[in-house]
């Protein structure tokens, strides 16, 4: 069975600084994808970044990067140069070839301080 763990219920970061949101996972599937989504107070789910299990390099998308450590089964999200608009819930998720759906971690609420 797949399992996604986010151990940080809440995180604070000063504006313009970098922050790392933790995510660990467990799966027996050899091929899988890891995702991060942002959910602002409006409730919509915004896709941020994707990492494939066979990707050799860590994914990057603008200010977002994913620190993928396959042996440790971790996929931490790094947000550089935090902005006030980054304040939101962040969810780590996993999908695989064997399961067509996506499973989510508990989420981390990020607050960016001015």
Partner 1 sequence: SAVISQKPSRDICQRGTSLTIQCQVDSQVTMMFWYRQQPGQSLTLIATANQGSEATYESGFVIDKFPISRPNLTFSTLTVSNMSPEDSSIYLCSVNRGDNYGYTFGSGTRLTVV
H or E stretch covering 91: strand 88-96
d(CA 47, CA 102): 13
Task: Pick one of 87, 107, 110, 112: the residue that binds partner 1 (CB under 8 A).
Answer: 107
Q: Rule CB under 8 A: say whether 103 interacts with partner 1.
A: yes
Q: Rule CB under 8 A: say whether 54 interacts with partner 1.
A: no
- 14 or 106: CB nearest partner 1: 106
The strand pair at 64-69 and 74-79 is best described as antiparallel
User: What number of CA atoms fall less than 13 Å from residue 27's CA on the CB side?
Assistant: 25
Q: Rule CB under 8 A: say whether 36 interacts with partner 1.
A: no
- 78 or 89: CB nearest partner 1: 89
Q: Rule CB under 8 A: say whether 44 interacts with partner 1.
A: yes
Count of residues touching partner 1 (by CB under 8 A): 23
Which two tokens mark 67? Answer: 């620190």
Instruction: List beta partners, residue 74.
Output: 24, 69
Binding site for partner 1 (CB under 8 A): 32-33, 35, 37, 42-45, 47, 50, 52, 91, 95-97, 100-107
């Amino acid at each position: 069975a797949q399992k996604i763990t986010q151990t940080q219920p809440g995180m604070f970061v000063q504006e313009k600084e970098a922050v790392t949101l933790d995510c660990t996972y467990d799966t027996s599937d050899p091929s899988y994808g890891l995702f991060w989504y942002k959910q602002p107070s409006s409730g919509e789910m915004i896709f941020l970044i994707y990492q494939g299990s066979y990707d050799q390099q860590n994914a990057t998308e603008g200010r977002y990067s994913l620190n993928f450590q396959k042996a440790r089964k971790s996929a931490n999200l790094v947000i550089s140069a935090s902005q006030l608009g980054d304040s939101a819930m962040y969810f780590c998720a996993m999908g695989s070839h064997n399961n067509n759906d996506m499973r989510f971690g508990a989420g981390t609420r990020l607050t960016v301080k001015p």
